[in-house]
Amino acid sequence: MSTQSEVSHSIGATIPAEVSRRLKRRYAAERRFQAYGIGAIMIGLMFLLIMFVSIIQAGLPAFQETRIRLDVELPADKFPDDPAEQTAEGMRLVGWTGLIQQAIRDQLQPETRADALAMHKLLSPNAEVGLRDIVVADPSLIGKSVSVWLLSAGDVDAIVKGTMSRDVPETQRTISDRQLTFIDTLEEQDRLRSQFAFTLFSAGASSYPESAGIGVALVGSLYMMLVVLCLALPIGVAAAVYLEEFAPKNRWTDVIEVNINNLAAVPSIVFGLLGLAVFINFVELPRSAPLVGGLVLTLMTLPTVIIATRAALKAVPPSIREAALGIGASKMQSIFHHVLPLAAPGILTSIIIGLAQALGETAPLLMIGMVATVFTYPETPMDPATALPVQIFMWSGLPERGFVARTSAGIMVLLTFLIFMNAVAVYLRKKFERRW
Amino acid sequence: MSVSMLLAVVLICAAVFYVLGNRRAIGVSGGDSRQLHSRPNYYGILAALWFAIPAIAVIVVWQVLQGHFLEGGIVDSLPPDVLERSADQVRLVVATIKSLAFGGIASGVEPYMLESAAGYRSAHGFSQTLMSIMSLALGLLVAGTTVARITPQTRARNGVERIVKAMLIACASLAILTTAGIVLSMLFETINFFKTVPLSNFFFSTEWDPRFSSAGRDGGDTGQFGMIPLMVGTMYVAFVAMLVAVPIGLLAAMYLAEYATPKFRATAKPMLEILAGIPTVVYGFFALVTVGPFLRDTGDIMGLDIDARSVMTAGIVMGIMIIPFISSLSDDVITQVPRSLREGSLGLGATKSETIRKVIFPAALPGIVGSILLAASRAIGETMIVVMAAGVAANLSGNPFEPMTTVTVKIVNQLTGDNEFTSPQTLVAFALGMTLFVITLGLNIFALHIVRKYREQYD
C-alpha cells in the first residue's frame, strides 16, 4: 500500500506542472474540436431553418385573398340577345369593367371624380373574370342584379392582411388615405372578406399579383413529369438491367459506365443547351413545349435513375438468379420474372427521386424557351407552357410587393411536392426493405 | 393521319398480331402446347414485335428526313428574286411559309408565299399518307411472314430474348449518345461562333460586351466576347462557396462520423441532406430577398458599401447548398478508414481529436479531396443562384461585395433574349457552354483519378 502511494506520489511530483498543463490544453483542444463539429452542423441546420421560416413567413399571406361583395346590375341591353351567343367568347365585348365600376360607385357614392377613380382602383383589373364566369355559367342572370364577391386589388389585399402598414405617410404608400376610408366603409358594411386563394392555384400568368397563379405552371410541370416518367422509367431500368446483368466486362461497357457517371455530374444548363441544339433547332419541335422540357429532363435524370436502379438490382442476392436458372428458366426469364419484381421497390424509389430532381430543375428549361408568359392552360404537351420552378424564377424578378408573397407561396407548393415525393420514397424503402 | 394516331394504330395492330401469333402457335401444335419449343405467348410477342419494330422504324426515319426534303420543295417553288436574297432571309421566308401552311399567323405575307404554303401543305399531306401506308405495309409484311412461318420448332423465346437484349443494349448506349450529342451539338455551334469571332478575342480578351445582334450587321463591329471576366467571376463565386462549404462540411462530417451518437447521426445527416434536395431556384430566391438585403444592411451599419447582388451573396448561398455534398461524401470516406488505425492511435494516448486530425484525416485525404473537387465542379456549373444573386454586369474587380457575372449567367442571358439564332451573340452561349462542359468534366475526371490513385489500401 505504502509503496503504491509513494509511486503515484513520486509520479505526480516529477511531472506535474508541464504535463498536466499540456494535458489540460489537449483536453481543451478536444472540447473545442467537438464544439466546432457541433457548430458546423448547427450552422447548416440553422440556414435550413432560416430559409424555411423566411419563405413561409413571406408566403403564407398569399394563400388568402381579399374579395369585395358588390351588387352588380346586368342591364339586358348590354348583352347579346341570342342565347347561343351568351358564351365567354360571345360576351367578350360586354363592358364588364364598366358594370363593376358602376356597382362600386353605387355602393360608395363618390362625391368627386377623383373619389370615383380611387374607388375603381379598389378592385383588381382582373375582377371582371370572376363576374364573367358567373354570368357565363348562368345566363338567366342577365337583366337582373347579382351579388358577387369580386377580387380586390393587390394593395387593398395587403392592407386587409396587414402586410402593408396604414401608419406610414400617405406619400410612401401605394394606397391613398381616401381609399383607406373606402376600405373601412366596405368593412363596416360587411362587404369585405378574406378567403382561401383559389386564384393562386387556378390562374396563369398575370401582370397583377392578386390575379397571378401557378395553375398553368402546375399543368406544364405535370406534363413534363409524365414525359419523364414514361421515358426515364423504361429506358433507365433497361439500361441498368443490361449493365448489371448482361454486360460483359469489356472496354465498351467500361466506356458506358464512365459515361453515365460523368453525365450525372454535368451541369444541368449544358443539358439545356443540348435540348436547344438538338430538339428545337435540329428536330424542330416547338419552343416552350412541355414535351421538349420533358425530353431534356429525361436525359438529365437518366444517370440518377440508372445508378440507383443498379444499386437496387445489386441488392437482390445471386441465389435468386441461380435458383431460377437451376429450374430451367432462361437468363432473361430469371431477370424479368424474379429479379426485377424483387427489386421493384428500390426501382420505384429511384424513379421517384429522379422525378423529384426533375421537378425542381430550372436552368435547362430557361434554355428551351419555357420562360414564356403563358395565360392559358396547355391542352397537349406540345402547347406552350411553363413550369413551376420557372414561374417562381419569373415572379422573383418582379418588383411588386405582392409578387414576393406569390413567389414564396409558389416555393412552398414546390417544396410540398418535393417533400411528399421524398417521403414516399423513404416510406417505400423502409416498408419493402429486405435483408437477405 | 397524324403521327400520334398512326402510333396508336401501330400498337393496336401489334396487339392483333400478338393474338394471331398466339393462336397460330397453338394451332400448329395441335392444341398441345408441350409440342412447342416455347410457350405460346412467346410466339405472340414475337409477331407483335416484328410488326411494331419495322413500322415504328419507318415512322422515325420518315419524320427525320421529311422536313429536309419538303423544305427543299419550298425553296424550289420560290420566285427567283427571293432566292437571290441572303441565306438568313430565305430561311425566314421558308419559316413563314411553313407557319402559314398550318394556319399560323405571320406578318409580311406576300402572294407567292400563300402559293408555296398551299404546295407545301399538299406535299406534307401526301408525305404523311405515304408514310402511314409504308409503315403499316412493312409491318404487315414482316409480321405476316413471321406468323406464317411459325412451326412447333420455331425458337420463339430465343428470338424474343434476342430482340429484348438488343433493346436493352440500345437503352444503355443512350448514355453514350447523350454525351456525343452534347459534344457534337456544342462543337458545331462553337465552330460557327469562331467563324465570326477570333479565338483570341474569346479566350484572352478581358472585355465582355456582345452588343445587340444588329450591331454586327451594320458595321464590322460585332462586339467583344472576352470570357475572362466571366471566368474570373465564376471562379470567384465558386471560391467563396468553397470557403463556406469546406470547413462546415468537413467539420460536420468529422463530428458525424466520429463523435455523434447513432441517434443524433440518424437525424442530423438526413436533415443536412435536405439542403442538397432543395431546388436551386429556391436558394436563388433566398439569396435575393433574405441574404442579399441582410448583407447590404450589415454593410450599411459597418460603413461598407455592399451590393445586394454580389459575389458574396451568391457565394455564401451556394456554399450552403454544397455543404451536404462535402459532408456526405467525406463522411463515407472517414467511416471507411479501418478501426485499427483509430485504436492504434488512441492506444498510444492520443485524444480523439488528435486521432482525427493526425491519423484519420490524412488517411481519408484522397477521398476528401475528391469530394471537394466534385463539389467545386457543382459550384462552377451552378446556374440559378448566380443568375438571381450574382449580377449581370461583367466587371473584372477583386471586390467580393460588388456584383460580378459568371459563365452560366451569360449563357442564360444570351439565350433568353430576342437574338437571332445564327448571330454570334447567341452562338457565344454554346462556346461558353462548351468551356463549362470541358472544365467540369476535367474536374470530375481529375477527382476520380485522385481518389483511385491515392487510395490507401489497408486490408
User: How far is residue A424's CA from residue A379's CA, in Å, rounded to a whole number?
Assistant: 29
CB contact under 8 A, B248 and A256: no
Number of CB atoms found within 10 A of residue B161's CB? 18
Q: Is B4 on the interface with A (CB under 8 A)?
A: no
Residues with Cβ within 8 Å of B453's Cβ and at least 6 positions away in sequence, in order, are B366
User: How far is residue B435's CA from residue B439's CA, in Å, rounded to a whole number?
Assistant: 6
Q: What is the pLDDT of residues B52-70, one digit of tens each?
A: 999 999 998 988 788 778 8
Give yes or no for residue B355 having a pLDDT over 90: yes
A382, with CB counted inside 10 A (0-12, 13-18, 19+), is middle
Q: Which residues of chain A have pLDDT under 70?
A: 1-14, 436
Q: Among B169, B278, B416, select the one facing A366 at the smallest CB separation.
A: B416
- At B264, the pLDDT band (50, 70, 90 cuts) reads very high
CB within 8 Å of chain A, chain B residues 88-147 = none
CB within 8 Å of chain A, chain B residues 266-325 = 268, 271-272, 274-275, 277-286, 288-290, 320, 323-324
Model pLDDT, residue B457: 66
Q: Among B250, B251, B415, select the one facing A276 at the smallest CB separation.
A: B415
DSSP codes, A222-237: HHHHHHHHHHHHHHHH
CB contact under 8 A, B275 and A48: yes
Q: Is the dihedral of CA A325, A330, A335, A337 positive or negative?
A: negative
- For chains A and B, what is the number of CB pairs under 8 angstroms? 241
User: How far is residue B313's CA from residue B389's CA, in Å, rounded to a whole number?
Assistant: 6
Contact, A368 vs A272, CB < 8 A? yes
Q: What is the pLDDT of residues B362-399, one digit of tens each?
A: 999 988 999 999 999 999 999 999 999 888 777 787 78
Which positions in chain B touch A301 (Cβ < 8 Å)?
none
- What's the gap in Å between the CA of B134 and the closest CA on chain A? 22
Mean predicted confidence (pLDDT) in B312-325? 93
Distances (CA, A) of A53 to A46, A50, A58, A249: 10, 5, 8, 51
Q: How far is CA A72 from the centre of its chain?
A: 37
Give yes or no for residue B150 having a pLDDT over 90: no
Q: Which chain A residue has the Cα nearest residue B422?
A: A281
- At B217, the pLDDT band (50, 70, 90 cuts) reads very low
Model pLDDT, residue B283: 94
Start-end of H helices in A91-214: 96-108, 113-120, 127-137, 154-161, 177-188, 198-202
DSSP element (H, E) containing B445: helix B424-454
Mean predicted confidence (pLDDT) in B212-216? 49
A81, with CB counted inside 10 A (0-12, 13-18, 19+), is exposed
Model pLDDT, residue A3: 46
- At B456, the pLDDT band (50, 70, 90 cuts) reads low
Of B31-35, B139-143, B308-312, the range with the highest mean pLDDT is B139-143
Contact, A199 vs A154, CB < 8 A? no
User: How far is residue A291's CA from residue A287's CA, in Å, rounded to a whole number?
Assistant: 9
DSSP element (H, E) containing A8: helix A2-14
Q: What is the pLDDT of residues A16-54, one digit of tens each?
A: 788 889 989 999 999 999 999 999 999 999 999 999 999
Model pLDDT, residue B215: 44
**Using alpha carbons only, how large is chain A's radius of gyration in Å?**
32
Q: Which chain A residue has the Cα nearest residue B440?
A: A266
Q: Which residue has the cell 386563394?
A: A197
Domains for chain A: give ranges and CATH numbers.
64-196 (no CATH), 215-432 (1.10.3720.10)
Domain parsing of chain B, residue ranges: 3-154, 224-454
In which region does residue A192 sit, left (phi positive, over 0), alpha (psi from -120 to 50) or beta (all else)? beta
User: How far is residue A343's CA from residue A347's CA, in Å, rounded to a whole number?
Assistant: 6
Q: Is the dihedral of CA B408, B411, B415, B418 positive or negative?
A: positive
CATH second-level architecture of B224-454? Orthogonal Bundle (1.10)
DSSP element (H, E) containing A193: strand A192-196
Q: Which chain A residue has the Cα nearest residue B260?
A: A38
User: How far is residue A33's CA from residue A39's CA, in Å, rounded to a whole number?
Assistant: 10
Model pLDDT, residue A110: 81
Residue A80's φ and ψ, nearest 5 degrees, are: -65, 140
SS3 B454: helix
Which among A26, A269, A287 is the top mutation candidate for probing chain B, defined by the most B β-carbons within 10 Å of its own β-carbon? Answer: A269
* Amino acid identity, position A195: Q
Q: What percent of chain B is modeled with pLDDT above 90?
A: 38
Q: What is the pLDDT of residues B73-109, one digit of tens each?
A: 777 777 777 777 777 677 777 777 777 777 666 666 7
Residues with Cβ within 8 Å of B268's Cβ and at least 6 positions away in sequence, in order, are A41, A45, B256, B260
User: How far is residue B158's CA from residue B137's CA, in Å, rounded to a whole number?
Assistant: 26
Model pLDDT, residue B391: 80
How much is the pTM?
Answer: 0.87
- What's the gap in Å between the CA of B372 and the closest CA on chain A? 13
Model pLDDT, residue B163: 93
